[in-house]
Protein backbone atom coordinates (compact mmCIF):
# COMPACT_ATOMS: atom_id res chain seq x y z
CA UNK A 1 0.00 0.00 0.00
CA UNK A 2 1.56 3.35 -1.06
CA UNK A 3 1.99 6.20 1.36
CA UNK A 4 -0.92 8.65 1.56
CA UNK A 5 -0.10 12.20 0.45
CA UNK A 6 -1.47 15.34 2.10
CA UNK A 7 -3.14 16.52 -1.18
CA UNK A 8 -5.03 13.22 -1.33
CA UNK A 9 -6.24 13.64 2.26
CA UNK A 10 -7.32 17.24 1.55
CA UNK A 11 -9.16 16.25 -1.63
CA UNK A 12 -11.01 13.35 0.00
CA UNK A 13 -11.98 15.37 3.06
CA UNK A 14 -13.32 18.14 0.80
CA UNK A 15 -15.25 15.58 -1.27
CA UNK A 16 -16.89 14.02 1.78
CA UNK A 17 -17.35 17.26 3.69
CA UNK A 18 -15.21 16.18 6.64
CA UNK A 19 -15.03 18.56 9.57
CA UNK A 20 -11.84 20.47 10.37
CA UNK A 21 -10.84 18.30 13.35
CA UNK A 22 -11.19 15.15 11.21
CA UNK A 23 -9.00 16.69 8.51
CA UNK A 24 -6.37 17.64 11.08
CA UNK A 25 -6.37 14.14 12.60
CA UNK A 26 -6.03 12.43 9.20
CA UNK A 27 -3.21 14.72 8.14
CA UNK A 28 -1.28 13.96 11.31
CA UNK A 29 -1.90 10.25 10.85
CA UNK A 30 -0.73 10.35 7.23
CA UNK A 31 2.43 12.23 8.19
CA UNK A 32 3.16 9.79 11.02
CA UNK A 33 2.74 6.92 8.55
CA UNK A 34 5.19 8.51 6.11
CA UNK A 35 7.74 9.03 8.88
CA UNK A 36 7.36 5.39 9.91
CA UNK A 37 7.93 4.25 6.32
CA UNK A 38 11.08 6.37 6.04
CA UNK A 39 12.40 4.75 9.21
CA UNK A 40 12.51 1.42 7.34
CA UNK A 41 11.86 -0.77 10.36
CA UNK A 42 13.19 -4.31 10.59
CA UNK A 43 9.82 -5.69 9.48
CA UNK A 44 10.42 -4.41 5.94
CA UNK A 45 13.17 -7.01 5.57
CA UNK A 46 10.63 -9.83 5.95
CA UNK A 47 8.34 -10.21 2.92
CA UNK A 48 7.07 -13.36 4.66
CA UNK A 49 5.07 -11.10 6.99
CA UNK A 50 2.95 -9.98 4.03
CA UNK A 51 -0.40 -8.72 5.29
CA UNK A 52 0.95 -8.45 8.84
CA UNK A 53 3.49 -5.74 8.01
CA UNK A 54 1.22 -2.81 8.83
CA UNK A 55 0.12 -4.39 12.11
CA UNK A 56 3.70 -5.18 13.18
CA UNK A 57 4.71 -1.59 12.42
CA UNK A 58 1.90 -0.33 14.66
CA UNK A 59 2.83 -2.84 17.36
CA UNK A 60 6.40 -1.55 17.32
CA UNK A 61 5.30 1.91 18.49
CA UNK A 62 2.42 0.78 20.67
CA UNK A 63 2.23 1.40 24.39
CA UNK A 64 -0.22 -1.20 25.71
CA UNK A 65 -1.61 -3.99 23.53
CA UNK A 66 -4.87 -5.56 24.62
CA UNK A 67 -5.85 -8.77 22.89
CA UNK A 68 -8.74 -11.20 23.30
CA UNK A 69 -8.09 -14.49 21.48
CA UNK A 70 -10.21 -17.61 21.55
CA UNK A 71 -8.32 -20.16 19.48
CA UNK A 72 -4.70 -18.99 19.12
CA UNK A 73 -1.99 -17.64 21.37
CA UNK A 74 -0.90 -14.05 20.71
CA UNK A 75 2.15 -13.94 18.46
CA UNK A 76 4.07 -12.06 21.15
CA UNK A 77 3.73 -15.11 23.41
CA UNK A 78 4.59 -17.88 20.93
CA UNK A 79 7.75 -19.98 21.14
CA UNK A 80 9.75 -20.47 17.91
CA UNK A 81 8.64 -24.13 17.66
CA UNK A 82 4.99 -23.15 18.17
CA UNK A 83 5.23 -20.43 15.50
CA UNK A 84 6.99 -22.85 13.14
CA UNK A 85 4.28 -25.49 13.58
CA UNK A 86 1.62 -22.87 12.84
CA UNK A 87 3.48 -21.76 9.71
CA UNK A 88 3.80 -25.34 8.46
CA UNK A 89 0.17 -26.10 9.22
CA UNK A 90 -1.32 -23.05 7.52
CA UNK A 91 0.08 -24.10 4.13
CA UNK A 92 1.01 -20.57 3.08
CA UNK A 93 4.66 -21.47 2.57
CA UNK A 94 6.29 -24.59 1.16
CA UNK A 95 9.88 -23.35 1.16
CA UNK A 96 11.53 -24.21 4.52
CA UNK A 97 13.64 -21.04 4.27
CA UNK A 98 10.51 -18.90 4.06
CA UNK A 99 9.07 -20.65 7.09
CA UNK A 100 12.26 -20.02 9.06
CA UNK A 101 12.24 -16.35 8.12
CA UNK A 102 8.63 -16.09 9.26
CA UNK A 103 9.60 -17.65 12.60
CA UNK A 104 12.58 -15.31 12.84
CA UNK A 105 10.29 -12.31 12.27
CA UNK A 106 7.83 -13.50 14.89
CA UNK A 107 10.62 -13.85 17.45
CA UNK A 108 11.92 -10.39 16.50
CA UNK A 109 8.51 -8.94 17.42
CA UNK A 110 9.01 -10.26 20.94
CA UNK A 111 12.05 -8.06 21.51
CA UNK A 112 9.61 -5.35 22.60
CA UNK A 113 8.77 -7.45 25.66
CA UNK A 114 12.27 -7.07 27.07
CA UNK A 115 13.44 -3.79 25.51
CA UNK A 116 14.35 -0.66 27.46
CA UNK A 117 10.85 0.60 26.63
CA UNK A 118 8.89 -2.66 26.92
CA UNK A 119 5.41 -3.10 25.52
CA UNK A 120 2.73 -4.10 28.04
CA UNK A 121 0.51 -6.91 26.76
CA UNK A 122 -2.88 -7.63 28.31
CA UNK A 123 -4.12 -10.96 26.96
CA UNK A 124 -7.28 -12.95 27.52
CA UNK A 125 -7.44 -16.35 25.77
CA UNK A 126 -9.85 -19.24 25.64
CA UNK A 127 -8.99 -22.21 27.85
CA UNK A 128 -9.16 -24.58 24.87
CA UNK A 129 -6.04 -22.91 23.47
CA UNK A 130 -4.04 -24.48 26.30
CA UNK A 131 -4.86 -27.96 25.02
CA UNK A 132 -4.32 -27.53 21.28
CA UNK A 133 -1.40 -29.64 20.08
CA UNK A 134 0.22 -27.23 17.67
CA UNK A 135 3.14 -29.36 16.54
CA UNK A 136 3.39 -32.19 19.05
CA UNK A 137 3.21 -32.72 22.81
CA UNK A 138 6.77 -31.53 23.37
CA UNK A 139 6.04 -28.30 21.51
CA UNK A 140 2.86 -27.83 23.54
CA UNK A 141 4.64 -28.48 26.84
CA UNK A 142 7.42 -26.03 26.01
CA UNK A 143 4.89 -23.43 24.87
CA UNK A 144 2.85 -23.68 28.06
CA UNK A 145 5.99 -23.55 30.20
CA UNK A 146 7.03 -20.39 28.35
CA UNK A 147 3.55 -18.94 28.76
CA UNK A 148 3.62 -19.65 32.49
CA UNK A 149 6.95 -17.82 32.80
CA UNK A 150 5.54 -14.82 30.91
CA UNK A 151 2.70 -14.47 33.42
CA UNK A 152 5.28 -13.56 36.07
CA UNK A 153 6.65 -10.65 34.08
CA UNK A 154 5.34 -7.21 35.08
CA UNK A 155 4.68 -6.33 31.43
CA UNK A 156 2.56 -9.40 30.64
CA UNK A 157 -0.94 -9.62 32.08
CA UNK A 158 -2.62 -12.91 31.22
CA UNK A 159 -6.09 -14.30 31.89
CA UNK A 160 -7.96 -17.42 30.72
CA UNK A 161 -11.62 -17.66 29.85
CA UNK A 162 -12.95 -21.03 31.08
CA UNK A 163 -14.26 -23.49 28.51
CA UNK A 164 -17.69 -23.58 30.12
CA UNK A 165 -20.29 -21.69 28.05
CA UNK A 166 -20.09 -18.35 29.84
CA UNK A 167 -21.46 -15.32 28.03
CA UNK A 168 -18.98 -12.49 28.22
CA UNK A 169 -19.22 -8.98 26.72
CA UNK A 170 -17.13 -10.23 23.79
CA UNK A 171 -20.22 -12.02 22.49
CA UNK A 172 -21.89 -9.96 19.82
CA UNK A 173 -25.61 -10.14 19.17
CA UNK A 174 -26.56 -10.22 15.52
CA UNK A 175 -30.14 -10.13 14.30
CA UNK A 176 -30.83 -11.94 11.02
CA UNK A 177 -34.25 -10.31 10.58
CA UNK A 178 -36.56 -7.99 12.45
CA UNK A 179 -38.52 -10.93 13.85
CA UNK A 180 -35.77 -13.50 14.28
CA UNK A 181 -33.98 -14.18 17.51
CA UNK A 182 -30.52 -12.69 17.76
CA UNK A 183 -27.63 -15.02 17.06
CA UNK A 184 -24.50 -14.80 19.16
CA UNK A 185 -20.94 -15.40 18.09
CA UNK A 186 -17.51 -15.05 19.61
CA UNK A 187 -15.16 -12.35 18.41
CA UNK A 188 -11.41 -12.07 18.83
CA UNK A 189 -9.72 -8.73 18.50
CA UNK A 190 -6.61 -6.75 19.36
CA UNK A 191 -6.54 -3.15 20.49
CA UNK A 192 -3.35 -1.11 20.15
CA UNK A 193 -2.78 2.26 21.76
CA UNK A 194 -0.31 4.56 20.06
CA UNK A 195 1.60 7.40 21.73
CA UNK A 196 0.33 9.81 19.06
CA UNK A 197 -2.43 12.40 19.51
CA UNK A 198 -4.49 10.79 16.77
CA UNK A 199 -5.80 7.38 15.90
CA UNK A 200 -7.75 5.19 13.53
CA UNK A 201 -10.89 5.21 15.64
CA UNK A 202 -13.05 7.89 17.14
CA UNK A 203 -12.70 8.50 20.86
CA UNK A 204 -16.17 7.02 21.31
CA UNK A 205 -15.24 3.75 19.56
CA UNK A 206 -11.92 3.55 21.38
CA UNK A 207 -13.62 4.02 24.74
CA UNK A 208 -16.25 1.40 23.87
CA UNK A 209 -13.62 -1.21 23.01
CA UNK A 210 -11.72 -0.40 26.19
CA UNK A 211 -14.86 -0.83 28.30
CA UNK A 212 -15.69 -4.15 26.62
CA UNK A 213 -12.18 -5.47 27.21
CA UNK A 214 -12.31 -4.44 30.87
CA UNK A 215 -15.51 -6.44 31.25
CA UNK A 216 -13.95 -9.46 29.56
CA UNK A 217 -11.01 -9.28 31.98
CA UNK A 218 -13.31 -9.10 34.99
CA UNK A 219 -15.26 -12.17 33.89
CA UNK A 220 -12.16 -14.20 33.04
CA UNK A 221 -10.19 -16.14 35.65
CA UNK A 222 -7.85 -14.16 37.86
CA UNK A 223 -4.20 -14.27 36.85
CA UNK A 224 -3.30 -16.58 39.74
CA UNK A 225 -6.10 -18.97 38.75
CA UNK A 226 -5.01 -18.74 35.13
CA UNK A 227 -1.48 -19.75 36.16
CA UNK A 228 -2.92 -22.74 38.04
CA UNK A 229 -4.88 -23.69 34.91
CA UNK A 230 -1.71 -23.57 32.80
CA UNK A 231 0.15 -25.67 35.39
CA UNK A 232 -2.58 -28.33 35.33
CA UNK A 233 -2.48 -28.34 31.53
CA UNK A 234 1.29 -28.94 31.64
CA UNK A 235 0.86 -31.79 34.12
CA UNK A 236 -1.76 -33.37 31.88
CA UNK A 237 0.50 -33.61 28.83
Examine the domain organization and report whether 63 and 161 are in the same domain: yes
Cα 65 to Cα 19, 23, 53, 156: the distances in Å are: 30, 27, 16, 10
Same domain, 30 and 111: no
Q: Are residues 30 and 46 in the same domain?
A: no
Of all helices (H) and strands (E), which one includes residue 66?
strand 64-69
Q: Are residues 104 and 10 in the same domain?
A: no
Domain match, 35 and 55 both? no
**120 and 149 fall within a common domain:** yes
DSSP per-residue codes, 178-221: SSSPPEEE---EEEE--SSS--SS-HHHHHHHHHHHHHHHHHSP
Q: Indicate whether 64 and 180 sit together in one domain.
A: yes
- Cα–Cα distance, 198 to 61 (Å, whole number): 13
Round to whole Å and give the CA distance between 87 and 93: 7
Quick one: which of 72, 107, 24, 51 has its CA closest to 188?
72
Same domain? 137 vs 55: yes
CB 33 within 8 A of CB 87: no
Q: What is the pLDDT along the chain (237 residues), one digit of tens a residue?
A: 667 888 999 999 999 998 888 888 888 878 767 766 655 666 666 666 666 766 776 677 667 888 888 888 999 999 999 999 998 888 777 788 989 988 998 888 888 888 888 888 999 999 999 998 888 999 999 999 999 999 999 888 889 988 754 444 444 433 333 333 333 344 677 777 655 544 445 556 667 777 888 888 888 999 999 999 999 999 998
The residue range of the domain holding 170 is: 40-235
Apex 73 CA angle, 193 and 234, nearest 5: 135
Amino acid sequence: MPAIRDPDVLALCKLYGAEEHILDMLLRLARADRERRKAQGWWNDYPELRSQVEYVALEEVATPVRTHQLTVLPGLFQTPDHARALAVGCGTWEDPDEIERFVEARVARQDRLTSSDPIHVWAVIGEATLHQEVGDRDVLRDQLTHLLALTHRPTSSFRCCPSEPVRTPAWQARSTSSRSRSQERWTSYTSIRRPLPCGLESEKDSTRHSVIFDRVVRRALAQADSRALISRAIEGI
